[in-house]
Structure 1
Amino acid sequence: MITVVHGASAVIGGRLADPVANGDAVRIDNGVIDRVGTSADLLALPHDETIDAAGGVVIPGLIDPHTHPVLGDFTPRQNTLGWVGAHLNGGVTTLISAGETHWPGRQRTPIGAKSIAMAAAQSSLALRPGGAKLHGGALLIEPGLTEADFDEMERAGVRLVGEVGLGSSIDPRDIRESIEQARSRGWVIPMHVGGASVPGSHVVAGSLVAELRPDVVSHANGGPTARPLAEIVSAIESTDAAIEVVQAGNTRALVDIVRHLDSEGLLHRLQFGTDSPSGTGIMPLGILRSIAYSAAFGGVDPVSALCCATGEVAARYHLDVGVIDAGRPADLVILDVPLGGQGSTALDSFTGGDVPSVALVMVDGEVVAFPSRMTPPPTNRPVVAAAH
Structure 2
Amino acid sequence: MKTAIVNIGRILTGDIAAPTVAGDAILLDAGLISSVGTLSASQVESADVVIDAAGTIAIPGLIDSHVHITFGDYTPRQKTVGYLESYTHGGVTSSVSASEVHVPGRPKDPAGVKALAVAAMKSFQTFRPGGMKVHAGAVILEPGLTAQDMVELKALGLRYAKAGFGAFETPFDYAPIVKAARDAGLITMAHTGGSSIPGSSGVWAEHILAMNPHVSFHVNGGPIAMPEAGFRRLVDESDVALQICTAGNLRTALLVAEMARSSDKLDRLLVATDTPTGSGIMPLGILYTLSHLCSLGGLDPELAFATACGNNARVFDLNSGFIAPGRDGDIVLIDACAGGSQDDALSALRNGDIPAVSAVITDAVPRFVGRSRNTPAGIRKVRTASSKIVELFEGGAH
* Fold conserved between structures, TM > 0.5: yes
In the TM superposition, residue 305 of structure 1 has moved relative to its aligned partner by 0.9
Q: Percent identity?
A: 39
Q: What are the superposed Cα offsets for residues 149-185 of structure 1, whole Å, 9 maximum, x if unpaired?
A: 33442344321112x1111116366433321221012
CA distance in 2, matches of 1:229, 1:244: 16
Q: Which amino acid aligns with 1:77?
A: R
Residue number in structure 2 paired with 1:221? 220
Q: What are the superposed Cα offsets for residues 232-251 of structure 1, whole Å, 9 maximum, x if unpaired?
A: 11111110111111000011
Match runs of 1:1-388 below 5 Å: 1-38=1-38, 46-162=46-162, 164-169=163-168, 171=170, 174-370=173-369, 371-386=371-386
CA distance in 2, matches of 1:6, 1:295: 28
CA distance in 2, matches of 1:20, 1:232: 30
Q: Which amino acid aligns with 1:366?
A: V
SS of 1:175's equivalent in the other structure is helix
Q: What are the superposed Cα offsets for residues 19-76 of structure 1, whole Å, 9 maximum, x if unpaired?
A: 1012111112233211111366786664343211111110000000111111122221
CA distance in 1, matches of 2:280, 2:330: 26
Q: Which amino acid aligns with 2:189?
A: P
SS of 2:144's equivalent in the other structure is coil
CA contact (8 A) 1:121 1:156 kept: no
- Specify every segment of 5 or more residues in structure 2 that has no aligned partner in the other structure, as ranges: 389-398
SS of 1:18's equivalent in the other structure is coil
- Specify every segment of 5 or more residues in structure 1 that has no aligned partner in the other structure, as ranges: none
CA distance in 2, matches of 1:360, 1:345: 15
CA distance in 2, matches of 1:380, 1:39: 22
CA contact (8 A) 1:122 1:156 kept: no
TM-score by length of 2: 0.93
CA contact (8 A) 2:151 2:184 kept: no
Cα distance 1:264–1:247, how it changes in 2: closer, same or farther (>3 A)? same
Cα distance 1:42–1:292, how it changes in 2: closer, same or farther (>3 A)? farther
CA distance in 2, matches of 1:146, 1:259: 38
Cα distance 1:145–1:49, how it changes in 2: closer, same or farther (>3 A)? same
Cα distance 1:257–1:174, how it changes in 2: closer, same or farther (>3 A)? closer
Cα distance 1:380–1:173, how it changes in 2: closer, same or farther (>3 A)? closer
CA contact (8 A) 2:147 2:181 kept: no
Q: Which amino acid aligns with 2:315?
A: R
CA distance in 2, matches of 1:17, 1:7: 25
CA distance in 2, matches of 1:22, 1:51: 19
The Cα RMSD (Å) is 1.8
Aligned residues: 387
Q: Which amino acid aligns with 1:83?
A: Y
